[in-house]
């Protein structure tokens, strides 16, 4: 069961990492003054992050994985506290990034550089967060969690596949994800 559950989490990380890579690629390769930013795909990226990882993935880690692990051992306490702070910091960073994207659309002076710097900082920050979970937290979870813990965590993450509020969160995420690929330029997307 740990393997199957951690595969769901790793698959979610992979989707998030792909979106972060796309964001980084866009701001690094398309910042010539004569080239207009690709606003539709940049908005789709911000919407994806707010709609899926920030609304479903990180909160579920806190209420399931982190909570269960805290009950089994104190060894992960400091790491979990750090990861929870990173979730909070990430929520603020993406809101700030959305503000900077709007400033860029309004054509404010210096907005392009500010957006690019914030996007690169955010992508690096989230990437390290995912790595810390996979490299440091998952091994502790495998060591300490019991079968009943894995069963409840697995069920909770599978719920992302169930219809809630008339829409499956994972289907919604998949639609946004496909839209990003649709709008992104080659070699990432289909344009």
Residues 49 and 106 sit within 8 Å (Cβ to Cβ): no
Is residue 116 a contact point for Fe ion (CB under 5 A)?
A: no
Q: How many residues bind Fe ion (CB under 5 A)?
A: 3
The tokens for 43 are 């908005």
C-alpha to C-alpha distances, 179 to 42, 47, 48, 113, nearest whole angstrom: 11, 11, 10, 25
For residues 87 and 58, the answer to whether their CB atoms sit within 8 Å is yes
Least distance (Å) between residue 58 CB and Fe ion: 5
What DSSP line would sit under 108-120, residue for residue? -TTHHHHHHHHHH
Least CB distance from residue 113 to Fe ion, whole Å? 29
- Contacts with Fe ion in 21-80 (CB under 5 A)? 58, 61
Take residue 31 and report the two structure tokens written for it.
């910042």
Closer of 71 and 88 to Fe ion (Cβ): 88
Residue among 58 and 100 whose Cβ is closer to Fe ion: 58
Give the one residue of 44, 56, 126, 133 binding Fe ion; rule: CB under 5 A: 133
Instruction: Identify which of residues 61 and 149 has a Cβ nearer to Fe ion in the complex.
Output: 61
Whose Cβ is closer to Fe ion: residue 141's or residue 183's?
Answer: 141
**Residue 36 DSSP code:** P
- Residue 57 CB, shortest distance to Fe ion, in Å, is 6
- Give first-to-last CA distance, the chain, whole Å: 40
Which residues of the shown chain bind Fe ion in the complex (CB under 5 A)?
Answer: 58, 61, 133
């Amino acid at each position: 069961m740990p393997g199957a559950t951690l595969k769901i989490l790793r698959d979610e990380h992979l989707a998030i990492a792909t979106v972060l890579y796309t964001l980084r690629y866009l701001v690094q390769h398309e910042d010539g003054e004569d080239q207009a930013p690709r606003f539709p795909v940049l908005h789709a990226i911000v919407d994806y992050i707010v709609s899926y990882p920030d609304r479903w993935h990180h909160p579920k880690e806190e209420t399931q994985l982190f909570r269960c692990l805290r009950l089994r051992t104190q060894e992960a306490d400091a790491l979990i506290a750090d990861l929870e702070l990173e979730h909070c910091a990430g929520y603020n960073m993406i809101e700030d990034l959305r503000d900077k994207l709007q400033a860029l659309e309004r054509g404010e002076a210096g907005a392009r550089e500010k957006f690019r710097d914030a996007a690169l900082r955010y992508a690096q920050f989230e990437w390290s967060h995912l790595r810390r979970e996979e490299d440091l937290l998952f091994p502790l979870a495998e060591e300490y969690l019991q079968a009943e813990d894995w069963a409840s965590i697995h069920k909770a993450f599978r719920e992302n596949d169930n219809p809630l509020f008339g829409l499956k969160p994972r289907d919604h995420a998949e639609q946004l994800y496909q839209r990003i690929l649709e709008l992104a330029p080659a070699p990432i997307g289909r344009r």
